Amino acid sequence: MGGKKARKRGAGRNSKTHVDKEDLLRYVRKSADRGTNFRHILEDFNVAPAARKQIRDILNQLVKEGKLAKHRGSRYEAAVRNLVEGTILVHRDGYGFVIPKEKIQGIESDIYIPAALIGPAMNGDSVKVEITLHKPGGRAEGRVASVEKRARNTIVGQLRYDGQVFFVAPADDKLPEKILITNDAGEHKDKIVEVEITRFAGQTRWPAGKVVAVIGFMDDPDIETNVIIRKFGLPAGFSKEIEEEAAALPDALTERDLTGRDDFRRRNTITIDPKTARDFDDAIDVEVLPDGTFQLGVHIADVSHFVPADSAMDREARYRGTSVYFPDRVIPMLPEKVSNHLCSLNPKKDRLALSVVMHLSRTGEVLDYSFHKSVIHSKERMTYEDVQQILDGSPSLEEQYAHVVPQLRTLQRLAKIIQERRRQRGAIDFDLPEPMLTYNERGDVAGIVKSIRLFSHRIVEEFMILANEVVARHLEENEIPSLYRVHEEPDPMKVQEFVDIVSGFGLKFEPRKAQPADFQKFITSIEGRPEERMLSYLMLRSFKQARYSEENIGHFGLASDSYTHFTSPIRRYPDLVVHRILKAAMARRTQPSVPHAQLDAIANESSERERLADQAERELFERKKMLLMEQHLGDMFDAIIIGIRRDGFSIELIDHFVEGFVPVAEIPNDSYRLDPSLHALVGRHTRQRFRLGDRIQVQVARVDKLLGRAYFLPVSPAAAASRRALARKGSSR
């Protein structure tokens, strides 16, 4: 059987050597519903081999312009301008990711934006993105189509002069390298300034702006804190209207304040807080009932009694979202008269509270609960350290606090029961040591030490989690619109990346559809290993951030079906909102205290403000560490590699909690390539490897105070051996 073979098109005598861009665009737009691929384009345009690269370049340009979309197999189709709205996070290397505002069908992760397609967008901006490429596994690439809202109109940095123009180098490597200065500010050269952006990058390479505030020199006292306050746009003080509103509140409780409240002043209520705490949100008490069950009281400051909805204080609290805690100061959510006096559950004072009284079984199950508008009288202001010493058997403290010692031991016993119950359901517990700064008599950073995690911390933590769950469950079961604290399941791709890293250490981690118990089991399995801290950190990075939502989708990390924030209304706005909602439900009011339409906005605002506060606190802490590193230039430290990139690797100093970066371009005698399969940088000539999790010795090379970053270099094996020999010699004296 035979027939004529179809003549293959393309590369014939009359083949084209040039293709017009508009002709190519029209051709793809007229193609079938699923577009066309590169091979068909070559055939239908009958192009010469020399023109193939030109066609591919034109197609790539049309993708960049957002006129075409590219799919697997070099398939092209007209771009559907379904714009995705979200927030862009720009990496220091120029590329970015957009976190969609809402879940997009077919896209399972954040949208990757190549550096060339970010356009005028800057880190943190609200943008609209056009999807340009769909990838396997629900991944996608896109281009910024428009900037909807700027994250900031001002930038903090150092005023410099390059011999031709004045510019500001931002104190943030996720922003453009320079902001050209348009006003006369030469007298402030080398100072840290705040710049108002008057022209964003786009048609021009660099943004431009004018100096609007002078913060000081890089070596000034408190400059780090002042830089962070300006950089993150944190509020300084309260307005006159708010101060007057707070001043108008009574200095003490009145009989009218006590009306309609349950009197819990005879209960053996105590607070347990850090030594430095100035405001006390929560108090607790416990009683063992005759049948061996427990009655637990969790009493939370009734802030909503003094801060009415839509008052000046309330509007400001909503704007701030949370208090911000720095090593040397606090930027409070509420004025001091409210946060530190009227609402704070100070010892030996009558205070208003919203109380959750729970009846618990011997195994920690909640058998019953009730909510109360109450008045309490805290018997003692305890610190975590004192409580722990009492639990450990300190005779002097047992004598001093004899009236609360039996209750403390019961609280300890009940907390262990509840903790075990949470573990059995699979709650994830990262019990890692945290760093703490120490200061000398002049107030300068003197060192970084490991903060001690005590079981007394656990006691308070367990009871607050339980109270939050009880409130959330009650509101959900009664179909009362509210705010929830939610934590989604981790991104499967990020989990797989973590699994790949773990396998490189010879460890097994095979999570079943991302069950929290699997993660907790793995954490337990690596306890005490040298790489425990690093792997726990990488696991955390594979998780999504917890956030606020009016829709309850559960809390993955806590393995909790219903969770909210109720226990810290002095310092968190969502807790204050939940108090109002709960009080309205207790009063059986049909009119909601917070309109349902507002809940979504409050959830988004509060999540955003929380992230901002976390970033500010974390960055200031890192900058304070850099002051210490500056005193150790040239010194050698033991470190562990915690991250690998093409241009270098991140390290953490062992026992010092300082992170830094080793640029491979500065390592002498070799060049290095990234081997993703090994999670390592490998020397092209020496074959030396720097692998994730390796322990190495490093030397402090330099500190960039503007960016708050330390740079290190590896110590040669000979120098490391010499250092060890000197250490042994010194220890033998």
Closest of 379, 496, 450 to residue 654, by C-alpha: 450
How far, in Å, CA of 262 to CA of 264, rounded? 6
Q: Which residue reads 């573990």 in tokens?
A: 423
Q: Taking the chain (733 residues) in consecutive chunks of 10 residues, what is each chunk's mean pLDDT?
A: 40 62 81 71 80 86 80 74 86 90 79 89 91 78 89 94 94 92 92 95 83 95 94 94 97 94 98 93 98 99 97 98 93 97 97 99 98 98 98 96 97 98 93 85 88 94 99 97 96 88 88 85 90 90 94 96 98 98 91 83 95 96 95 96 95 93 94 93 94 96 96 81 54 45
CATH fold match for the domains 84-149 and 154-220: yes
pLDDT value at residue 136: 73
Q: Where are the domains of the chain?
A: 21-78, 84-149, 154-220, 240-487+548-620, 492-543, 632-731
How far, in Å, CA of 353 to CA of 373, rounded? 6
- Determine the CATH number of domain 632-731: 2.40.50.140
pLDDT value at residue 597: 80
pLDDT value at residue 281: 96
Let me know how long the chain is.
733
Q: Which residue reads 């890192």 in tokens?
A: 622
Q: Which CATH topology does 21-78 take?
A: Arc Repressor Mutant, subunit A (1.10.10)
pLDDT value at residue 1: 40
Q: Which residue reads 């590193």 in tokens?
A: 629
Provide the terminal-to-terminal Cα distance of the chain, rounded to the nearest Å: 98
Neighbours of 457 (CB within 10 A): 17
Question: Which residues face 41 on adjacent strands?
Answer: none
pLDDT value at residue 252: 93
Q: Which residue reads 């660099």 in tokens?
A: 206
Q: Which residue reads 């609200």 in tokens?
A: 126
pLDDT value at residue 335: 98
How far, in Å, CA of 217 to CA of 196, rounded? 19
Closest of 379, 369, 352 to residue 570, by C-alpha: 352
Backbone angles phi, psi at 604, to 5 degrees: -65, -45
How far, in Å, CA of 529 to CA of 185, rounded? 54
The tally of CA atoms less than 13 A away on the side-chain side of residue 189 is: 8
How far, in Å, CA of 62 to CA of 623, rounded? 44
pLDDT value at residue 391: 97
pLDDT value at residue 508: 87
Between the alpha carbon of residue 509 and those of residues 326, 513, 642, 680, the distances in Å are: 37, 12, 19, 21
Pair type for strands 270-273 and 380-383: parallel
Q: pTM of the prediction?
A: 0.85
The residues, any chain, with a CB within 8 Å of residue 658's CB and separated by 6 or more, are 448, 625, 628, 629, 652, 710
Query: Class of the 154-220 domain?
Result: mainly beta
How far, in Å, CA of 314 to CA of 305, rounded? 12
Cα-Cα-Cα-Cα dihedral sign, residues 326, 329, 335, 339 = positive
The string of DSSP letters for 124-190 reads T-EEEEEEEEEEGGGEEEEEEEEEEE-S-SEEEEEEEE-SS-EEEEES-TTS-S-EEE-S--GGGTT
The residues, any chain, with a CB within 8 Å of residue 706's CB and separated by 6 or more, are 157, 158, 169, 171, 218
Question: Which residues face 133 on adjacent strands?
Answer: 70, 141
Q: Does domain 84-149 have CATH number 2.40.50.140?
A: yes
